[in-house]
Structure formats: structure tokens, C-alpha cells
């Protein structure tokens, strides 16, 4: 691999480290030309098995473009999308499989997308899980509400924003 600084072709490995519980190797290299050091990372290729029976390399860019449509008009930045795609890749790599069914890629997107934006999540889920009826949406929204508010309590934003800060003093006789 060429030195990223001077483009010389020769480098020697000065350190080698196993990362991510054996799923990746990182090598510290020193350029024979300019003497500067750089790091290379080696991971196994991750493939997505498509329904047609073919497979293709996993691509974070494809995850981003798939999710971006669902995020139109929502307060989701490019950085958010990049982080989501990274989370998805981490999740898929953690399964330890070299080939992931396309279906599972979609599933791995749903979790982090819900964290990011519930409306975008609903849009994505409605396409991905092919919601047919209003009831499908209602059921999903009910689920979102239940999980957002597991104890059935209303957020007391009004109370906490009031000016009265109560200090509790406990006396030990």
C-alpha cells in the first residue's frame, strides 16, 4: 500500500494489533520514503445476500441513500446518517457472518433510525415492512408510544421548568 503522505510504495509494519475481538487487524506502518507513520485496517469483506440469489458488498453509502428518502424534511443531518450507517455496519459485523440477508440489513436499520427520528422511522418501516392499512400504522405508533413512555407517566416538563427549586434537608437526630 502506498504511503498516504508521499505515495512511496515501500513501507514496513512496525506494530500489528487485533481489534474488535478478532474481527479486524490494525497495522502501524512506517514509510521507507519519508519515514512517516500511518495505520491500515484489515477487515473481512461483508456481503449482502439479495433476494435474487446474488450478493454484493455491503455499502454504508447504500444504507444512507436508502434512509435519506425517509428523512426528507426531517431534522436529520448528514452526520446523523453517517453515524447510523456505521451503527448498522457494526451490528452486522457483530453477527460474525460474512454474508447477511438483505432483510437483516433492513432490520438493523430500524433500531438506530427509531432513535434518530420517529417519523422517519415510521416512513421507513411502512415501506420496509409493507404496511397495508391504517391499522398497521396505528399498531406501530401505539408501540412507539408504549416504549417511549413505559410507565404510562406524562413527561412533567411543565413542573420542572417552574422556578421553585425545592431543596430537601434531611435531619438526623
29 near Zn ion, judged by CB under 5 A: no
Query: Could you say which DSSP state residue 167 is in?
Result: P
State the number of CA atoms in the 13 A half-sphere of 69 facing the CB.
Answer: 11
- 9 touching Zn ion, by CB under 5 A: no
User: What's the CA gap between 104 and 31, in Å, rounded?
Assistant: 41
The CB-of-11 to Zn ion minimum distance in angstroms stands at 7
Of the pair 10, 115, the CB lying nearest Zn ion is at: 10
E-assigned strand segments in 32-168: 37-43, 47-49, 55-57, 99-101
Dihedral sign for Cα atoms in the order 68, 73, 74, 80: positive
Task: Tell me how many residues contact Zn ion (CB under 5 A).
Answer: 7
Q: Could you tell me which stretch among 5-13, 41-49, 88-96, 99-107 binds Zn ion (CB under 5 A)?
A: 5-13
Phi/psi of residue 122, nearest 5 degrees: -60, -40
Cβ neighbours, 10 Å, residue 52: 7
Min. distance of Cβ 80 from Zn ion in angstroms?
35
Does 31 help bind Zn ion (rule: CB under 5 A)? Answer: yes
Q: Which of residues 14, 19, 34, 94 is near Zn ion by CB under 5 A?
A: 34
| Footprint of Zn ion on 118-137 (CB under 5 A) | none
Q: Which residues bind Zn ion (CB under 5 A)?
A: 3, 5-6, 8, 31, 33-34
Amino acid at each position: 500500500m502506498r504511503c498516504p503522505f508521499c505515495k512511496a510504495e515501500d513501507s514496513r509494519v512496525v506494530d500489528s494489533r487485533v481489534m474488535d475481538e478478532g474481527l479486524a487487524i490494525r497495522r502501524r506502518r512506517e514509510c521507507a520514503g519519508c519515514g512517516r507513520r500511518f495505520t491500515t485496517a484489515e477487515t473481512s469483506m461483508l456481503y449482502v445476500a439479495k433476494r435474487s440469489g446474488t450478493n454484493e458488498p455491503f455499502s454504508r453509502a447504500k444504507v444512507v441513500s436508502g434512509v435519506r428518502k425517509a428523512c426528507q424534511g426531517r431534522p436529520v443531518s448528514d452526520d446523523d446518517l453517517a453515524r447510523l450507517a456505521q451503527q448498522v455496519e457494526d451490528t452486522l459485523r457483530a453477527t460474525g457472518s460474512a454474508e447477511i440477508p438483505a432483510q437483516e440489513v433492513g432490520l438493523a436499520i430500524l433500531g438506530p433510525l427509531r432513535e434518530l427520528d420517529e417519523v422517519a422511522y415510521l416512513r421507513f418501516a411502512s415501506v420496509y415492512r409493507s404496511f397495508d392499512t391504517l391499522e398497521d400504522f396505528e399498531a406501530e405508533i401505539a408501540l412507539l408510544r408504549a416504549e417511549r413512555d413505559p410507565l404510562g407517566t406524562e413527561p412533567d416538563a411543565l413542573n420542572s421548568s417552574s422556578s421553585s427549586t425545592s431543596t430537601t434537608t434531611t435531619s438526623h437526630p
